[in-house]
Amino acid sequence: MTPYDALTEVNAVMDRLRAVRETLGKKLADGSCQSSELRQMSDLHDRVALAIAAYKRGK
């Protein structure tokens, strides 16, 4: 794997993480989650958001 290949792959992963964060955010906002799922979904959303923020700081 070349550095370019690695960067391309990392960028693809980050795009996917952003899509997951957006989907989780929409699900949380529309209130369709049951209360038992709400905490898990919120935690996942926060973790993904932190990963994206950490990536941006490292750029």
The one-letter amino acid at 55:
Y
- Residue 59 CB neighbour total at 10 angstroms: 5
pLDDT of 58 above 90: no
State pLDDT tens for residues 10-52: 999 999 999 999 999 998 998 877 888 888 999 999 999 999 9
Domains: count for the chain: 1
Return the higher-pLDDT residue of 4 and 31: 4
Does an H or E element contain 18, and which?
Answer: helix 3-30
Which residue segment(s) compose the domain that 52 sits in?
Answer: 3-58
- Cα(8)–Cα(5) distance, integer angstroms: 5
**What are the pLDDT digits (tens) for 9-19?**
999 999 999 99
CA atoms within 13 A on the CB side of 55: 15
pTM of the model: 0.81
